[in-house]
Amino acid sequence: MLTLLLGGEFLADEGTPKYLHGSYQYTTERKRVETHLAAARDKAPEASAAKTAFLGAMSHELLTPLNAIIGFTDLILQETVGPISQPGYLEFARSVRTAGQRALAVFRDVLMMAELEADLFPLHLEEIDLCALAEAVVREFRRTSTAFPNSCMYGSRIGIDLILPSVDHRVAVEIIDELDDALFELVF
C-alpha cells in the first residue's frame, strides 16, 4: 500500500499564476506504525486484565505453600515435637525459612505492583503507635514461643510517644513482620 500526502498552491503576482509550489510526503511507514500502535493500545486493557486474573489465581497457589514452609520451619526451629540432636539440621531449617521469607516478600511485591497498576490499591490511613505495636509483637511472641526467654521484656527507653499520624495499615503489617522476624532471629 502506498500512501502519499500531496499539497500545493499557486503563487501569483497580481492575479496571474506564476508557478505551482508543491510538496509530497511518503507516509506508508508512518501509517503502518500508527496502525500497530493503535492495535497494541486496544489490546493493553485486555492483557492487563489477564495479568491481574493470573496473579489473583496464582497468589493462593503460591502464598499457601510458602506460608506452610515458613510455618513448618518455625516449628522445627522451636523444636516443638522434640529436640533436634544434629545442630546442622537447625541451620538447614534457618536457611529454608530465610529463603521462604525472601520468596514471599518478592511475590508480595509483585502482587502489590499489579494492584497498583490496576488501581486496586486503595490507601487506608490510620495512626500507628510504634511503641504499642512493638510491645504487642513481643507479648505475642512470648505467648506463642516456648523458647523465648522470660527475662526478655519490652521496654521503651525513649520516654516519648512514637505515633505516626497518617500511615497505610500495610505499613503496620510490615513493621510487625520485621519485628517478629528480628525476634525470631534473636532467639533462634
Give the pLDDT confidence of 129-183 residue by residue, as tens digits: 877 777 787 777 777 666 555 555 555 555 566 777 777 777 777 777 777 777 7
**Three cell numbers, residue 77:** 526451629
User: What is the pLDDT at residue 19?
Assistant: 57
Residue 165 parent element (H or E): strand 163-168
Q: What is the rounded distance in angstroms from the CA atom of residue 76 to the CA atom of residue 87? A: 12
Q: What is the rounded distance in angstroms from the CA atom of residue 126 to the CA atom of residue 110? A: 24
Say if residue 70's pLDDT is above 80: yes
165 or 31: which leads in pLDDT: 31
DSSP string, 17-31: EEEEEEEEEE-HHHH
Q: Kindly report whether the global pTM for this prediction surpasses the value 0.85.
A: no
* Greatest mean pLDDT range, 109-113, 167-171, 182-186: 109-113
Contact 184, 74 (CB under 8 A): yes
Task: Evaluate the CA torsion angle 103, 106, 108, 110 in order and state its sign.
Answer: negative
Contact 115, 121 (CB under 8 A): yes
Least confident range from 92-96, 98-102, 177-181: namely: 177-181
